[in-house]
């Protein structure tokens, strides 16, 4: 992990590998301090606090969760007494999608012969993601600490005269998606609306909303964007995400028209300029999302996670590339 200053008062902590769960955090170093997203486990959260500690004097008074996924909220418990802010949907959604016990069980199963054999037979993709996560993460000791300050469309913080705008943009990648705009420093903390140099993993939301949100970010004209995953970028990060989503939706439409399944389409669609991004086989998730829309299914129809991870593994193997999540 590394600390990067992105403007006078804004900083980022970035995870190097840029695989699943390697989420970024932000810090706005004013008005008591604001941390944006709290990492995937306690080890990474502590390391993030240590790195931010180099540029801020104490624990921050506020935490913002950009959405409900575990990799952005599982360090919340270390910010005792802080005001935790998120979109109104986030507390309930965290209980649904970020239950740490499931991930604890998964990593526990990777170590033990019987669950491992079962996983290998029934869900080889789940075993593969469990093994990968185990290299970097330990979900023990995590308990959900829910946001307490909830907002609907917008929420403005005044940090000693400096405005910070929380803008609700969901559901695009997830239901609670929020971006954090610091106009005076021309910085946007984009959460998982932007994945950089890694294949986006969208869950609940629509292409339309996601593309419109990227347009909004471009319109805000930031000098610096801190994405939810991957290196810090400028406006080109939003443009590339847009191009990727448009490309995948178009290719998916063609395959859908040919009667291919989402899995077969994901084996076939050319990676184009995006093959060098981490986890290219995560393409499956974006194809499946497009298919759901073509089939007029509800954007919030639940995902079968085991099926998703199995499919990503199948796609990687069919294309002869490393299985990576």
CB 308 within 8 A of CB 291: no
Per CB under 5 A, does 192 bind Zn ion? Answer: yes
Beta bridge partners of 227: 191
Nearer to Zn ion, 97 or 187 (CB): 97
- For Zn ion, the binding residues in 227-266 under the rule CB under 5 A are 228
Nearer to Zn ion, 183 or 231 (CB): 231
Per CB under 5 A, does 288 bind Zn ion? Answer: no
Lookup: tokens for 231: 């290196």
Q: How many other C-beta atoms lie within 10 A of the C-beta of residue 105?
A: 14
Q: How many other C-beta atoms lie within 10 A of the C-beta of residue 303?
A: 15
Residue 190 CB, nearest distance to Zn ion (Å)?
Answer: 11
Nearer to Zn ion, 19 or 123 (CB): 19
Euclidean distance between CA atoms 251 and 59, whole angstroms: 47
> Could you tell me whether strands 149-151 and 162-168 are parallel, antiparallel, or unpaired per DSSP bridges?
unpaired
Stretch that binds Zn ion, among 83-91, 185-193, 219-227, 276-284 (CB under 5 A): 185-193
Q: How far is CA 110 from CA 69, 119, 131, 311, in A?
A: 22, 8, 6, 19
Beta bridge partners of 99: none
Per CB under 5 A, the list member of 22, 68, 71, 324 interacting with Zn ion is 71
Euclidean distance between CA atoms 108 and 106, whole angstroms: 5
Residue 72 CB, nearest distance to Zn ion (Å)?
Answer: 6
Residue 149 CB, nearest distance to Zn ion (Å)?
Answer: 21
Nearer to Zn ion, 84 or 190 (CB): 190
CB 11 within 8 A of CB 5: yes
Which runs of consecutive H residues, i.e. helices, occur in the chain?
42-52, 70-73, 90-97, 100-111, 113-122, 124-136, 207-220, 235-257, 262-268, 283-294, 305-318
Stretch that binds Zn ion, among 22-30, 85-93, 169-177, 265-273 (CB under 5 A): 22-30
Residue 111 CB, nearest distance to Zn ion (Å)?
Answer: 25
- For Zn ion, the binding residues in 34-63 under the rule CB under 5 A are none
Per CB under 5 A, does 194 bind Zn ion? Answer: no
Count residues contacting Zn ion (CB under 5 A)?
A: 4
Per CB under 5 A, does 23 bind Zn ion? Answer: yes
Task: Using alpha carbons, select from 182, 196, 223, 226 the residue that is nearest to residue 12.
Answer: 226
Nearer to Zn ion, 190 or 290 (CB): 190
Euclidean distance between CA atoms 27 and 25, whole angstroms: 7
Nearer to Zn ion, 71 or 185 (CB): 71
Stretch that binds Zn ion, among 16-24, 129-137, 144-152, 233-241 (CB under 5 A): 16-24
Nearer to Zn ion, 23 or 180 (CB): 23
Residue 13 gets which letter from DSSP? E
Stretch that binds Zn ion, among 18-26, 129-137, 250-258, 302-310 (CB under 5 A): 18-26
Stretch that binds Zn ion, among 54-62, 87-95, 187-195, 255-263 (CB under 5 A): 187-195
Residue 208 CB, nearest distance to Zn ion (Å)?
Answer: 21
> Which residue ranges make up the site for Zn ion (CB under 5 A)?
23, 71, 192, 228
């Amino acid at each position: 992990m590394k600390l990067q200053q992105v403007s006078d008062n804004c900083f980022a902590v970035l995870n190097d590998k840029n695989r699943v769960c390697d989420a970024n955090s932000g810090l706005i170093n004013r008005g008591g301090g604001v941390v944006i997203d709290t990492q995937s486990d306690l080890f990474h959260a502590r390391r993030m606090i240590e790195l931010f500690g180099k540029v801020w004097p104490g624990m921050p008074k506020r935490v913002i969760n950009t959405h409900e996924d575990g990799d952005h909220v599982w360090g919340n418990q270390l910010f005792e007494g802080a005001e935790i802010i998120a979109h109104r949907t986030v507390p309930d959604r965290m209980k649904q999608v970020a239950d740490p016990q499931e991930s604890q069980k998964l990593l526990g199963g990777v170590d033990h012969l019987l669950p491992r054999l079962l996983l290998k037979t029934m869900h080889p993709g789940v075993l593969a993601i469990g093994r990968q996560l185990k290299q970097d993460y330990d979900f023990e000791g995590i308990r959900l600490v829910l946001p307490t300050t909830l907002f609907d469309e917008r929420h403005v913080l005044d940090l000693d005269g400096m405005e910070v705008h929380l803008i609700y943009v969901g559901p695009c990648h997830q239901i609670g998606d929020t971006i954090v705009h610091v106009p005076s420093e021309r910085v946007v903390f984009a959460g998982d609306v932007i994945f950089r140099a890694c294949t986006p993993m969208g869950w609940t939301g629509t292409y339309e909303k996601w593309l419109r949100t990227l347009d909004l970010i471009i319109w805000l004209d930031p000098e610096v964007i801190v994405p939810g995953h991957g290196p810090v970028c400028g406006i080109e990060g939003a443009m590339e995400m847009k191009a990727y989503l448009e490309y995948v939706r178009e290719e998916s439409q063609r395959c859908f028209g040919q009667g291919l399944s989402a899995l077969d389409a994901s084996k076939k669609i050319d990676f184009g300029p995006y093959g060098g991004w981490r986890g290219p086989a995560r393409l499956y998730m974006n194809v499946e999302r497009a298919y759901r829309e073509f089939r007029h299914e509800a954007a919030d129809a639940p995902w079968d996670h085991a099926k998703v991870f199995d499919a990503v593994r199948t796609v990687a193997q069919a294309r002869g590339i490393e299985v990576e999540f």
